[in-house]
Chains A and B, each alone.
Chain A
Amino acid sequence: MTVEKFSYDNKIVRDFAIASIVFGVVGMLVGLLAALQLFAPVHNLGTQYTTFGRIRPLHTNAVIFAFVGNAIFMGLYYSLQRVCKARMFSDLLSRIHFWGWQLIIVLAAITLPLGLTSGKEYAELEWPIDIMIALVWVVFAINMFGTIFKRREKHIYVAVWFYIATVVTVAVLHIVNSVEIPVSFFKSYPVYAGVQDALVQWWYGHNAVAFFLTTPYLGMMYYFLPKMAGRPVYSYKLSIVHFWSLIFIYIWAGPHHLLYSALPDWAQSLGVVFSIMLIAPSWGGMINGLLTLRGAWDKVRDDVTLKFMVVAVTCYGMATFEGPMLSLKNVNAIAHFTDWIVAHVHIGALGWNGFLTFGILYWLIPRIYKTSLYSKKMAAFHFWVGTLGIVFYAASLYWAGITQSLMWKQFTPLGILQYPNFLETVIQIIPMYMIRAFGGALYLTGVVVMVVNLIKTAKSGVLEANEPAEAPALEKDYVDKSTKHRWLETRPGKFALLATIAIIIGGAIEMIPTFMIKANIPTIPSVKPYTPLELQGRDIYVREGCYTCHSQMIRPFRSETERYGEYSKAGEFVYDHPFQWGSKRIGPDLMRIGKKYPNLWHYNHMENPRNVSPGSIMPNYDWLLKQNLDNSTLESKINAMRTLGVPYAPGYEKQALQDLTKQAEELAADLQKNGAPAQSNKEIIALIAYLQRMGTDIKGDTTTVK
């Protein structure tokens, strides 16, 4: 038994910590801006780069991939080295991973406000960045598995299983959901359309929650919580059972985001069943976390890191109980499209991800700087102000969501809608939006206090960039890479393979039938491809992030068919790359907006929504009236669409511009006739053309509004 001397890389941990904090502050500031925009449109700041439709994806991407992403790498790089008793596989790969990830974040921060988006929630980044993400992720994977293979500890601790599942599954999700056809350097169309696109998107979206916001954090919980409490995890058996159940079951539950939509019913039911089953493994994790503190609760009183951990794990339990409840169809009928969902995800983001990150930061920074925390008082203040912030945020949105939903569904005794004007239901909850912003501001205040506290802490010590350690070498026969496939016979190899099989089975059975069986998407003969002008208009709709506030999915409830018109059918979306069903109604559904209002109404409404709807919180889109429509990529767009199966005749791309011009001139002439100073070459014309087309095909009605 020779004892080997080596060192842990703390510098990379410190770097990821800084990145997480910096982007956390930025992401939350952007979130606060979005919250202000929702009760006072003036905060859209009058430029197209800062409107809600572009800011909201920036906020979600910044919080998920920049704040939480960097925090994952921080916690993972720290704990993985220690439970493997090995330095990270390669310092160079660590650096490439770090700078690559930050570059991706910066590119996201530039492209999203510019309106360069693929229009799929939490996967908005365009194709060149998607490729970069995949490459950096592979670097990270090599670095992680390399570390596991050269470990000096024979056994693989439970935290590492969660890390392996994370690395493998995120790669699969990202690649499958990002298959797209480029039409230019920053514009692409997803290969999936309509219902299929929705299914893939929410298989991805739901499992981003599972494998980006949950499994890596559970892994960190299993390492840091025992360390903080000074006692091992409550039940190692439970951790084994709950790990495998979690990754097996989570992957199936994606369709619960699409209940009562045009998704085939069997797929919806599958999603509901697995969502209910998910309570068990999720609560297994929560119970294991909380019971680790049995007999150590006295420590929670004076150890602020444990306070953060307890609230984080409790919020995890709340969110993972609420999720399955929201998946029940009768509950979902009320909650879907409302602020209830926004409250739900923020219990997870602010409570579980945020607080666990803060707890780890308060514990970790003093240790790698070989000092003690600058101020326990400030940390305690952060804890209380942050907790209060979560309460204000969530409570106000629960109130808002349920209020608005009940107003949408309310009929008078005569059987007509009590609140036929959607705007009435929005104005009703504006005070709640103010309280939400206040809650967010409180939470952010706590974070700023933490930043000061941690900077002072770091200044009082010195970073131990390479922490010396020693451990006996592993018996060499244990990891033998002499033949090519030997890695599969090692435990981490088997593990990774099993985990992959588990998630692929679930994903495949969920998706294959919808892709392969025609009966799942009944065709509607009268549904035709978009004209070139409408296609351009649709791309503007995607660019401006209209889907962040407007759904295109009328559910089969009387309250919705009364308000909007005929419910949405699967066959209506067959040419929609990407689908734009949306997941939140800050404004009314647009599925049947076509021909509902004259062109002039849309023109005035887009210039300033308050021209036609006093009290509206929608941003102005006046630049659409001034910007020329860019038709330079029209040919490649038509070609790309044809490749994807949209039946444009061969050679139609040559004629497309002519057709577009003709339709635009007709539309502009109508606007001019009614007194609007419209020009046919502006973006607004294309957008109006798309809006007037929307949802009209099944009516088989080609007359225009008089």
Chain B
Amino acid sequence: MFDNILTSIEGIAIYPIFSLVIFFLFFLGLTVWVLKADKKYLEKMSEIPFEK
């Protein structure tokens, strides 16, 4: 069924490279955000289950 749609994709190699770049940048951004995050804010977040 699917094998008749396309027999090859031009430049398939760009897929993994592209995704690696996306993820790497995302994690970089995430790490930076986490390291810079406001301590008070994080504390407040972790207290949420205890608020009456």
Binding site for B on A (CB under 8 A): 79, 82-83, 85, 153, 155, 157-159, 191-193, 196, 223, 226-227, 232-233, 236-237, 240-241, 244-245, 248, 505-506, 509, 512-513, 515-519, 521, 643-645
Contacts and interface: CB of A to CB of B under 8 A. Distances in A.
Interface string B33-52: 01101000011111111110
A226 B50 contact: yes
A227 B51 CA distance: 11
A521 B7 CA distance: 11
A241 B42 CA distance: 13
B49 A236 contact: no
Contacts of A519: 8
A264 to B, nearest CB: 12
B12 A513 contact: yes
B8 A516 contact: yes
Interface magnitude class on chain B: 20 to 34
Contacts of A240: 30, 34
B47 A241 contact: no
B19 to A, nearest CB: 6
Contact of A83 (B4, B16, B23, B48): B48
B9 to A, nearest CB: 5
Contacts of A192: 2
Interface string B2-41: 1111111100100110010011001100110011010000
A233 to B, nearest CB: 5
A517 B12 contact: yes
Contacts of A509: 15-16, 19
Given A223-B49, A516-B5, A244 B30 contact: yes
A83 to B, nearest CB: 5
Given A157-B48, A517-B8, A645-B3, 11 more contacts: A79-B49, A85-B51, A155-B48, A157-B49, A227-B50, A236-B45, A237-B35, A515-B2, A515-B3, A516-B8, A519-B8
Nearest to A196: B2
10 contacts: A155-B48, A157-B48, A193-B1, A240-B30, A240-B34, A248-B26, A513-B15, A515-B2, A516-B5, A517-B7
A515 B42 CA distance: 44
A515 B50 CA distance: 50
Contacts of A79: 49
B12 A241 contact: no
A505 B19 contact: yes
Report, nearest first, the 9 A-B pairs whose CB atoms are least far apart.
Answer: A232-B46, A157-B48, A236-B42, A236-B46, A516-B6, A645-B1, A515-B2, A518-B7, A237-B34
